[in-house]
Structure 1
Amino acid sequence: MSEASEFEGYGGPSGPLPDRTGQAEAFDAIGRHYDEAFPHKDGQVAAGRRLAEALPPGSRVLDVGCGTGVPTSRQLAEAGHHVLGIDLSSGMLDLARKNVPAHHAEFRQLDVAALRAEGPDGVGTFDGIAAFFALLMLPRAEIPYALRLLHGLLRPGGLLALSMVEADLDDAGIPFLGHTIRVSGYLREELRQVVRDAGFDIVDEDTYSYAPASTDVPPEHQLFMHCRRG
């Protein structure tokens, strides 16, 4: 199968959506405990602020894997942008709707693989996209295609704020707040190449060392990339 035909089948009419039921159920159960376990999101807050400030006033922004809506969807909405937050977890989305003013934000249960600008379920195009720790929930084989989907949803010159955990992992099961979730990661230079291959220019990067509170997850290195659609 060629790269192009495989991309067309990724969540499109010629292929089924990936089954991520287990991931969604885990985050439904985790719910509000997620923010309790991650009380200090310094890197995400800084990257969200940078995206909010770099966008033109009243921009349309997609928050991929928005979770509880805190901090990113709320930051973007409070900055006057119009936010569409998507997540697999209905429980997380219920919390997001409570946490973020409805007049500036809409939340939909949607898989990143189902994102399309046009069509009956199309989401349109965006000036900016935030994808904080969302793509690490995908197997590595899907991440390049997900990035290309996001590239296609951005208007020319649009901005992508992306974060991943630096790790050489592919769809590995890890314990997380009493549940098992599956995660993937790249070492830094490989991640840069994957992002560039998807059509993005990397404008800047930040790195944070982070140890979640009250969880059995070890400290991690968080990579934040500030990108522009090339």
Structure 2
Amino acid sequence: MPLDRAGQAEAFDTIGDRYDEAFPHKEGQVASAEWLVVALPAGARVLDLGCGTGLPTARRLAEAGLEVVGIDLSAGMVALARAHVPAGVFHQADIADLRPGGPWDLGRFGAVAAFFSLLMLPRAEIPLALRTVHHLLVPGGLFVLSMVEADVDDFTIPFIGSTIRVSGYLRDELREVVEAAGFEIVEESSYTYAPATADVQPEVQIFLRCRRHP
């Protein structure tokens, strides 16, 4: 499958720290990260998939004594994450690089977090990305993810002074896609969120807490 990431990483390079200014309240992310902190043994490896600036997720996981590895397509975001979370290890990489047989082998993880990162992919790639997450997890490993509820596929939107392409699902379809990739959904929550920037519309954010089937 040919990958088209044109403009996606560059947009986030341009956005930089303004991302956290536009999304100052991340209750769903914080709650899901705390779920991982409570559930995981000390020193467990966690992959932050689409780590962004490293705030708040990677920092909180590292502060809790977990071994944090983060990847992001944006070099600018990786640089910010390294500055914000010196205890973590961060790489500029694509989820596609982590597939079985791909160029990156980061080993296995007790948990993976993917907050608003899978929505950057066309819908055709999302099931394969979920299977990649399944591959990266140890049996019974934990997976937390969030998506914006929307029936769109690779749709261009204005975003904090740039443009990006996003995909989404309605709630029941998202559950079906996640379960089909080999995950049990343990908990679900949603938030209505109004970003602190005029060019991003209010949205419904869906958070799923999952466990990999053995």
Matches of 1:64 and 1:147, distance apart in 2: 11
Instruction: Tell me, yes or no, if structure 1 residue 131 matches structure 2 residue 114.
Output: yes
- Matched residue of 2:25: which SS? coil
- In structure 2, the gaps of 5 or more residues are none
CA RMSD of aligned residues (A): 1.3
Correspondence for 1:147: 130
What is the count of residue pairs matched by the alignment?
A: 213
Q: What code does the residue aligned with 1:151 have? A: H
Matches of 1:19 and 1:167, distance apart in 2: 21
Paired residues of 1:86 and 1:107 also in contact (CA < 8 A): yes
Pick aligned residue for 1:49 from 34, 48, 53? 34
Matches of 2:74 and 2:19, distance apart in 1: 12
Correspondence for 1:212: 195
Q: Percent sequence identity over matched residues?
A: 66
- Matched residue of 1:213: which SS? coil
- In structure 1, the gaps of 5 or more residues are 1-9, 11-15
Instruction: Tell me the TM-score normalised to structure 1 length.
Output: 0.90
Instruction: Tell me, yes or no, if structure 1 residue 202 matches structure 2 residue 150.
Output: no
Paired residues of 2:100 and 2:132 also in contact (CA < 8 A): no
Correspondence for 1:75: 60
User: What is the Cα deviation at residue 214 of structure 1?
Assistant: 2.0
Correspondence for 2:172: 189
Matches of 1:42 and 1:120, distance apart in 2: 35
Correspondence for 1:90: 75
Matches of 2:186 and 2:104, distance apart in 1: 32
- Matched residue of 1:21: which SS? coil
Matches of 2:118 and 2:46, distance apart in 1: 17
User: What is the Cα deviation at residue 116 of structure 1?
Assistant: 3.9
- Matched residue of 2:9: which SS? helix
Q: What code does the residue aligned with 1:56 have? A: P
Matches of 2:37 and 2:157, distance apart in 1: 32
Paired residues of 2:96 and 2:102 also in contact (CA < 8 A): no
